[in-house]
Structure 1
Amino acid sequence: MNAKLENILKQEKRMVIDGSMGTALEDLGADLTNALWTASVLTKQPELIAKVHENYFKAGADCGITASYQATIPGLTAAGYTEAEAEGLIAKAVRIFNDARDAWWQAEGEAAGRAYPLCLASVGPYGAYLADGSEYKGHYGLTKDALRDFHRRRVELLAAEDPDLILFETVPSLTEALVEAEIAEDMGLDYWVSFSCKDDAHICEGDPIRDAAAAFAEGHPHLQMIGVNCTKPQYITGLIGEIKTACDLPIAVYPNSGEEYDAVTKTWHGVESDLTFYDHALSYYQAGAAAVGGCCTTVADHIRQVVQARADYLKGLKE
């Protein structure tokens, strides 16, 4: 296991992941109504990204996700940036995180006895670049070579900034996940894979999550964690159970808050579950998750609930 990840799991027993970048940025006043979404803030208001990271550290997150989910070379160049500028912005996402982490650590984290948070360099799926909700559908119609070409350079740029792990997240397609894993394995990079799922047993493109987990059970020595994100909270415990039947990797889950995404308006709507995020998080730890956090529409308050759920779960193990 990655030494830094292992240290956190030894110290904290279970890990807390941070929450949404998009919703947290909007709460700070950022305008994300564009195809670049959070990536647009990398150049316009990078200080807001740093503030989001800081707020999640203060809430109790043991690891955080960089603002590179929607940052792709074709996406940024289509928005008017040069290729060199696009590459610089992708790398900048890791630097913003690292600077925010170090500032928080020196100001309060170390003195409070907290674990030094992991930097997870986010690699969104091809569907995120399309900016049409395809990360919840898949079926891109691309060859493996095309997917490899799309992802590899971004992974290289992120890896050059020395994050702790590469995070392939919101992946709707097993084919895409395997291509991404191949890139990381070829480069000798530690990584984890997180799928988007349409119910409590299937990833968004339709493959059973059990089959997806089985595909990664062996032959991927640099894979550190596997799991699910940006999926309805009520599906997560079932998905954890399905993954556990197929592989022994640590499982990480960070669902959205339960609302539905409208790809046309790029907004979230609907009534959340009667259960609190604390209730959901506690059930995830009880089901066997090694790490729990939040995705779209979650903010620092949700992560504080996860921290409390972890504490109560661990307390229950001792009783």
Structure 2
Amino acid sequence: MEIQGCREDRTSSLMVDFVKDCGGIAIIDGGLATELEANGADLNDPLWSAKCLFNSPHLIQKVHLDYLEAGANILITSSYQATIQGFESRGFSKDQSEGLLRKSVEVACEARRIFQEKHVKASKTPHQVLIAASIGSYGAYLADGSEYSGDYGEAIDLEALKDFHRERFLILADSGADLIAFETIPNKLECQAYAELLKENDIKIPAWFAFNSKDGVHVVSGDSFVECISIAESCKQVVAVGINCTPPRFIHGLLMTIRKVTTKPILIYPNSDETYDPDVKEWVESTGVSDDDFVSYVTKWHEAGASLIGGCCRTTPNTIRAIYKAFN
């Protein structure tokens, strides 16, 4: 399958075909926010990495390119914490807010174009690249730590979550991305909201569902991991399911659970096993997992059935490069 533009294939077989063409393992990129900070961005803001969409999009493009050069096959856009509501609270108009959402995909697509042209000019064949438009949870918009607990209170029900996500989803689905990445899903209710949004709209864009866990058994809200995966499994537009932003030590057990419930490709992109304190908005000091240790995990995850592997918070292009070397 040749991937040149941003919307070459939207069928249900997208991810199966893509992984096959990548040699049986597709590599997802790594952490975005910490790399933006490493390149000089100040992300002490409720919009987090989405802040760079209006004040330093060149830094986002640079980080995307760093991951592509490291061997990533899938770029996740900078829209995780980008919402119309969040941009409007900063004084942007509705049209400007929608434009910033589209810009997150445009920047990633441009990075892919630059990467591919560079390799073609050097008489090299660039590896396959997909663009995944990120949609973070309602808790990510709140920026109060509830994305790590899944506790939104009684005021938020299924319809309210669908209403919150609908417009952003429709804009990103029509932005030129290859698929939607619903990331760091913290509870069953939001999982159900995403599934219903996919089913009720005519836009046939594929999606993946990635959940996070802090005990290796449940999603962070305490809801059943199996029930959440089952919701994703029942949705035809979901082309891959798995885990992100979860400590590596929990991944193998969760992977074994996923295999019992789904027939879809399984994706794994954990964090570096460090802890984020949402109250002070800082990472708690920790040794984390070295790139060598991370790679020792990923080879076992691939053997156990994961076919899309990358990194989340605090992983770097060096992490992705190590994964690429392990599989190539």
Q: TM-score range by the shorter chain?
A: over 0.9
Percent same amino acid among aligned pairs?
A: 38
Structure 1 distance, partners of 2:66, 2:14, is: 22
Structure 1 distance, partners of 2:94, 2:307, is: 38
Structure 2 distance, partners of 1:178, 1:211, is: 10
What is the CA-CA distance between 1:109 and the residue it aligns to? 6.3
> Hey, what does 2:195 align to over in structure 1?
181
Q: Is 1:203 aligned to 2:213, yes or no? A: no
The 5-angstrom pairing of residues 245-264 of structure 1 reads 245-264=260-279
Q: Is 1:36 aligned to 2:52, yes or no? A: no
**Alpha carbons 1:256, 1:297 under 8 Å: kept:** yes
**Alpha carbons 2:135, 2:182 under 8 Å: kept:** yes
The 1:246–1:33 alpha-carbon spacing in structure 2 relative to 1, beyond 3 Å, is same
Q: Is 1:152 aligned to 2:162, yes or no? A: no
**Alpha carbons 1:174, 1:207 under 8 Å: kept:** yes
Structure 1 distance, partners of 2:195, 2:283, is: 30
The 1:2–1:135 alpha-carbon spacing in structure 2 relative to 1, beyond 3 Å, is same
**Alpha carbons 2:195, 2:231 under 8 Å: kept:** no
TM-score (normalizing by structure 2):
0.90
Q: Is 1:96 aligned to 2:113, yes or no? A: no
Please, what is the CA RMSD of the aligned residues?
Answer: 1.6
> Hey, what does 2:32 align to over in structure 1?
21
**Alpha carbons 1:254, 1:294 under 8 Å: kept:** yes
> Hey, what does 1:114 align to over in structure 2?
126
**Alpha carbons 2:12, 2:236 under 8 Å: kept:** no
Aligned length: 310
**Residue 5 of structure 1, aligned match among 8, 15, 19:** 15
What is the CA-CA distance between 1:2 and the residue it aligns to? 4.2
Structure 2 distance, partners of 1:146, 1:199, is: 28
Deviations 1:217-245 (A, max 9, x none): 33x11110001100111111111111111
> Hey, what does 1:232 align to over in structure 2?
247
Q: 1:205 is matched by which residue type in structure 2? A: S
> Hey, what does 2:304 align to over in structure 1?
287
**Residue 85 of structure 2, aligned match among 74, 77, 82:** 74
Q: 1:157 is matched by which residue type in structure 2? A: I
What is the CA-CA distance between 1:6 and the residue it aligns to? 3.6
> Hey, what does 2:295 align to over in structure 1?
278
Structure 1 distance, partners of 2:303, 2:283, is: 28
Structure 1 distance, partners of 2:52, 2:98, is: 15
**Alpha carbons 2:16, 2:265 under 8 Å: kept:** no
Q: 1:271 is matched by which residue type in structure 2? A: T
Structure 1 distance, partners of 2:68, 2:106, is: 16
Deviations 1:100-157 (A, max 9, x none): 1111111116943333310000000001001122111012131111100110100111
TM-score (normalizing by structure 1):
0.93
Q: Is 1:86 aligned to 2:97, yes or no? A: yes
> Hey, what does 2:184 align to over in structure 1?
170
Structure 2 distance, partners of 1:185, 1:114, is: 35
Gaps of 5+ in 1: 312-319
Deviations 1:15-36 (A, max 9, x none): 1000011011011100001111
Structure 2 distance, partners of 1:303, 1:214, is: 29
What is the CA-CA distance between 1:165 and the residue it aligns to? 0.5
The 1:8–1:215 alpha-carbon spacing in structure 2 relative to 1, beyond 3 Å, is closer
The 1:85–1:295 alpha-carbon spacing in structure 2 relative to 1, beyond 3 Å, is same
> Hey, what does 1:307 align to over in structure 2?
324
What is the CA-CA distance between 1:296 and the residue it aligns to? 0.5
**Alpha carbons 1:123, 1:155 under 8 Å: kept:** yes
Q: 1:10 is matched by which residue type in structure 2? A: K
Q: 2:92 is matched by which residue type in structure 1? A: Y
**Alpha carbons 2:13, 2:239 under 8 Å: kept:** no
Structure 1 distance, partners of 2:289, 2:206, is: 35
